[in-house]
């Protein structure tokens, strides 16, 4: 393994409806001096402040898909960046339709953004670099254009599924990753199938088949009141599993 440090901070771990303890989806990743946001739900900017991470130093945002609970935090984010006198380019990536959607959000804002926002639509299996971080993506199964992402640098790797049903494409993407962050919205397979999400049991099967180091369950429906139910269900298939909580940090370090 290399010397890169991988630090993952969960900013929002709820599904589409926030709760008293869980904000809408967003994850801050620091890998090899590069800071990346995975999704940016409403309230993300405040959660970044709460976490002690820097709003100013975020290099890029990767959107898993274009549902509002995953991207409506962007105007607040770039507004705060503007007020902090940012001049560095902000990169935004996502599935087909991202460019058009982000441009609409920018047009709604009455303030002029004083830095370049570079927007790129991706296709499944695209690869690119953000700083020294290698990014690859795969098709996620959510009923709309959706992507899962793998971030890798100097021997450290993590995969974020976004919203998805269990997928062989994601299994392949996650092969031997240090950390897999997987949609685990519903405890019921029927609910998961109906809304194109996963159960903890299904997420754990993906983790086991992909031989990942650690599984993190996130995007948790507010209808389920007992967090331990998610862990218990997942551990029928995979032992090294934890439940994401808002402001929780995983430091992969030299693992």
**Distance (Å, whole) CA 185 – CA 196:** 10
Summarize the confidence of residues 169-185 as an average pLDDT: 98
Q: Of 94-98, 108-112, 115-119, 201-205, which gets the smallest average pLDDT?
A: 108-112
* pLDDT value for 1: 47
162 and 148 Cβ atoms separated by less than 8 Å: yes
138 token code pair: 């795969």
Q: At 255, is the pLDDT very low, low, confident or very high (cuts 50, 70, 90)?
A: very low
The string of pLDDT tens digits covering residues 125-159 is 999 999 999 999 999 999 999 999 999 999 999 99
**Distance (Å, whole) CA 199 – CA 70:** 19
pLDDT reading at 172 higher than 60: yes
Average pLDDT, the chain: 96
**Distance (Å, whole) CA 40 – CA 19:** 16
Estimate the share of the chain in helix, then strand, then coil, as percent rounded to the nearest 5: 25, 30, 45
150 and 173 Cβ atoms separated by less than 8 Å: yes
How is residue 177 annotated by DSSP? -
Q: At 2, is the pLDDT very low, low, confident or very high (cuts 50, 70, 90)?
A: low
For the chain, how big is the Rg over CA atoms in Å?
17
pLDDT reading at 211 higher than 50: yes
Task: Look at the block and give the residue holding tokens 């975020």.
Answer: 58
Could you give the residue ranges of the DSSP H alpha helices within the chain?
Answer: 44-51, 74-83, 98-108, 168-173, 189-195, 200-210, 228-234
* pLDDT value for 146: 98
**Distance (Å, whole) CA 199 – CA 232:** 12
Q: Which residues contact 101 (CB under 8 A, 6 or more apart)?
A: 66, 71, 94
Measure the CA angle with vertex 69, ends 54 and 8; round to 5°.
Answer: 35
* pLDDT value for 48: 98
* pLDDT value for 24: 98
Q: Which of 218, 209, 214 is nearest to 250 (CA)?
A: 214
**Distance (Å, whole) CA 96 – CA 160:** 18
**Distance (Å, whole) CA 204 – CA 51:** 28
The string of pLDDT tens digits covering residues 55-95 is 999 999 999 999 999 999 999 999 999 999 999 999 999 99
**Distance (Å, whole) CA 129 – CA 132:** 6
The string of pLDDT tens digits covering residues 21-59 is 999 999 999 998 999 999 999 999 999 999 999 999 999
Q: What CATH number does the domain located at 6-251 have?
A: 3.60.15.10
**Distance (Å, whole) CA 102 – CA 97:** 9
**Distance (Å, whole) CA 157 – CA 244:** 18
Q: At 109, is the pLDDT very low, low, confident or very high (cuts 50, 70, 90)?
A: confident
221 and 255 Cβ atoms separated by less than 8 Å: no
How is residue 56 annotated by DSSP? T
pLDDT reading at 111 higher than 90: no
Q: At 250, is the pLDDT very low, low, confident or very high (cuts 50, 70, 90)?
A: very high
Which one from 32, 42, 69, 246 is the annotated catalytic residue? 69
69 carries an active-site annotation: yes
* pLDDT value for 110: 85
């Amino acid at each position: 393994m290399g010397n890169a440090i991988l630090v993952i901070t969960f900013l929002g771990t709820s599904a589409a409806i926030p709760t008293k303890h869980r904000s809408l989806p967003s994850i801050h990743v620091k890998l090899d001096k590069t800071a990346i946001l995975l999704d940016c739900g409403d309230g993300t900017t405040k959660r970044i402040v709460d976490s002690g991470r820097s709003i100013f130093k975020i290099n890029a945002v990767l959107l898993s898909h274009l549902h509002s609970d995953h991207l409506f935090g962007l105007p607040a984010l770039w507004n705060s960046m503007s007020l902090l006198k940012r001049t560095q380019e902000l990169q935004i990536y996502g599935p087909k339709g991202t460019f058009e959607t982000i441009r609409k959000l920018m047009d709604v804002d009455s303030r002029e953004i004083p830095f370049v926002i570079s927007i790129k639509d991706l296709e499944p299996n695209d690869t690119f670099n953000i700083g020294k971080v290698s990014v690859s993506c795969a098709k996620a199964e959510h009923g709309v254009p959706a992507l899962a992402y793998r971030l890798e640098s100097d021997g450290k790797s993590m995969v974020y599924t976004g919203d998805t049903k269990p997928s062989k494409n994601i299994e392949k993407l996650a092969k031997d990753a240090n950390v897999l962050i997987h949609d685990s919205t519903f405890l019921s397979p029927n609910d998961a199938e109906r809304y194109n999400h996963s159960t903890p049991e299904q997420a754990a099967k993906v983790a086991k088949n992909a031989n990942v180091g650690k599984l993190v369950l996130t995007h948790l429906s507010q209808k389920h009141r007992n967090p331990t139910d998610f862990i218990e269900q997942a551990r029928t298939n995979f032992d090294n599993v934890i439940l994401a909580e808002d402001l929780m940090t995983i430091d992969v370090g030299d693992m």
